[in-house]
Structure 1
Amino acid sequence: MQVTTKKTGIRMAGNIGIETEAPSTTTMMLDNPYKIVRQLASTNAVVLFSMSGCCMCTVAKRLLFGLGVGPTIIEIDHHGAGPDIQAVLFQLVADGRQPVPAVFVGGKFLGGIETLMGCHINGTLVPLLKEAGALWL
């Protein structure tokens, strides 16, 4: 059995781009924005959906990097399915708040900047990150 591969480009923060080899069946499965979000969240310890010009997204990135976490960052304004992903995130927050930054930890939706900062302040963020495998110390 031979698996064909197709090059996919994943845009990350700023002008950084990563070329990866992905099975064509995987790329076909990720044509639905809900599936894209679910797949990213379930295969990475921490995922941060961000907009490149968003100051609160920068705060979330700096907090996570400062704690020693290397989150998977999806800049939705640079992603081909960005508007559709943003619509999925709007459904997740469901209270009319801004959907970015949107943070997933251990495959589960944690929330936006308020929840992230609240967890950090009350001391529950680090244990969550350790449980998800994003921190080892």
Structure 2
Amino acid sequence: MADKVRELSSKKAAVIFTKSSCCISHSIKSLFYELGASPAIHELDQESNGREMESALRGLGCNPSIPAIFIGGKYVGSAKDVISLHVDGSLKQMLKDAKAIWF
């Protein structure tokens, strides 16, 4: 399952593994949309193998496992990490570098 997660995390410039019921995940998705990115969203509570994917995310070092944010195929962290990157101004540049946004 870890290979599947790695494959999914590198298919688009920005990828978020989340749960539809998670308000923090909703905030992160909204932030990405406000920055002009259209991330691939994988709602683990709506996937048939979501529990296994969440376990694989933990095994890959994602802690907490939800939300798990990947930019340019690399794990950048959880909500706390992404908010920190946004506050210091580096999130937008990371999205530009990964070609998730163009401006």
TM-score normalised over the length of structure 1: 0.72
Aligned to 2:101: 135
Stretches of structure 2 that go unaligned for 5 or more consecutive residues are none
| Pair 1:83 & 2:80 matched | no
Partner of 2:88: 122
AA partner of residue 21 (structure 2): G
1:103 corresponds to which of 69, 90, 97: 69
Task: Give the match for residue 68 of structure 1.
Answer: 36
What SS is found at the alignment partner of 2:60?
A: helix
If asked which structure has higher relative contact order (CA below 8 Å, sep 6+), I would say 2
1:45, 1:52 → 2: CA distance?
Answer: 21
* 1:73-120, Cα deviation, whole Å (9 max, x unpaired): 0000111110111001112336xx431010000000011000100000
Is 1:36 matched up with 2:4? yes
Query: Root-mean-square deviation (CA), in Å?
Result: 1.1
Structure showing the higher strand proportion among its residues: 1
Aligned length: 103
Larger radius of gyration: 1
**TM-score using structure 2 length:** 0.94
Q: SS at the partner of 1:110?
A: strand
Tell me the SS of whatever aligns to 2:10.
Answer: helix
Structure 1 gaps, min length 5: 1-32
- State how far apart, in whole Å, the 2-side matches of 1:66 and 1:46 are: 14
| Corresponding residue for residue 27 of structure 1 | none
